[in-house]
Copies of this chain bind each other. A is one copy, B any other.
Amino acid sequence: MKGIIAKEPGGAEQLIYTEMPEPELTDSDILIEVHATAVNRTDILNREGNIGYVENPIIGVEVAGVVLDPNDHPTFSKGDRVMGLVNGGAYAEKAVMPADRAMKVPESLSFEEAAAIPEVYLTAYQTLYWLGNLKETETVLIHAGASGVGTAAIQLAKVLSNARVITTAGSEEKLSYCRELGADVVINYKEQDFAAEVERATDGQGVNLILDFVGASYWENNYKSIAVDGRWVVIGVLGGSTVNQVNLMDLMMKRVQLTGTLLTPRSNEYKAQLTTEFINQTTKYFEEGKLKPIVDTIFAIEQAGDAHRHMEANKNIGKIILRV
């Protein structure tokens, strides 16, 4: 079977689609014929050789496809349409997935749409609920609202919690898309001071939760934007990782809870629990069309390098998909 690896750690030009060994099925896995996979920033780090925790040389952490071998797991039959997270090995014709992490694909969705769900929706769900403890009608600030996780988080916060959503993005096109997805307040971070806009939009109270993909360059404005007893979850450092001068007394005065998180390196057990809760909370909304996977562009798997360059150019709204 064929799969995508990086010849050497480096740029997108290192990606090649080449003959690889069949994946090895352990007792806890099912075997999947991959029909679509999706690009994540962790794939780029992996391609660059900057991640130590992925053992599979084939890149990619999520797939949608058809069960080839249910491997005695009674929940699944050969031919079932499934989607979910894998421990590497997604950019390939076949992949193995822990059975307790596989989700059945809602009937209304294509494989390309299904492949746009697992990583961003599970990350958004984990961040909003398991780490951010978002409650009904609270206000949440979602940075990078047009990104994969951003588009999922806007929808989840509205549909599951009727939260007030304030979101930032860098173009009018992205902002109007966020508004269509349900964002209540949209801020163009290139033209507006987002802390001042948040202050205005919340009557000076600040937001109860921040989803922060940006990190260092937003630190000060995020602190200004957070409410007393606010939760602040850092899930990316697109604006740099090193903050100069953090004042701990500031964190004490506002009683801020700051959490750093990554989904990919978490345990199999954690991912299984998260998957189960996510399915229970969201399946009916996907079936009703109230939650939608957001697909930006679909590339053939042979064009994985172009797909990576597209993400690196930061122009996508929603997910970049590879069709296998």
Contacts and interface: CB of A to CB of B under 8 A. Distances in A.
Contacts of A252: 234-235, 237, 260-262
A247 B242 CA distance: 4
A198 B248 CA distance: 23
Contacts of A314: none
Assembly of this chain: how many copies? 2
A249 interface: yes
Interface residues of A, number: 30
A245 B244 contact: yes
Contact of A255 (B241, B247, B261): B261
A193 to B, nearest CB: 22
A135 to B, nearest CB: 15
Nearest to A236: B252
Interface in A14-56: none
Interface residues of A, dominant DSSP: mixed
Interface string A240-265: 01111111111111111111111001
Interface string A259-287: 11110011000000000000000000000
A256 B260 contact: yes
A257 B255 contact: no
Contacts of A148: none
A259 B262 contact: no
A216 interface: yes
Contact of A234 (B216, B251, B265): B251
Contacts of A257: 131, 257-259
A65 interface: no
A248 B254 contact: no
Contact of A247 (B241, B245, B248, B265): B241
Interface string A220-239: 00000000000000110100
A215 interface: yes
Interface of A: 131, 215-216, 234-235, 237, 241-262, 265-266
Identify the 5 closest CB pairs spanning chains A and B, nearest first: A251-B260, A252-B260, A241-B249, A257-B259, A246-B246
7 contacts: A234-B248, A234-B251, A237-B252, A246-B246, A253-B260, A254-B260, A255-B260
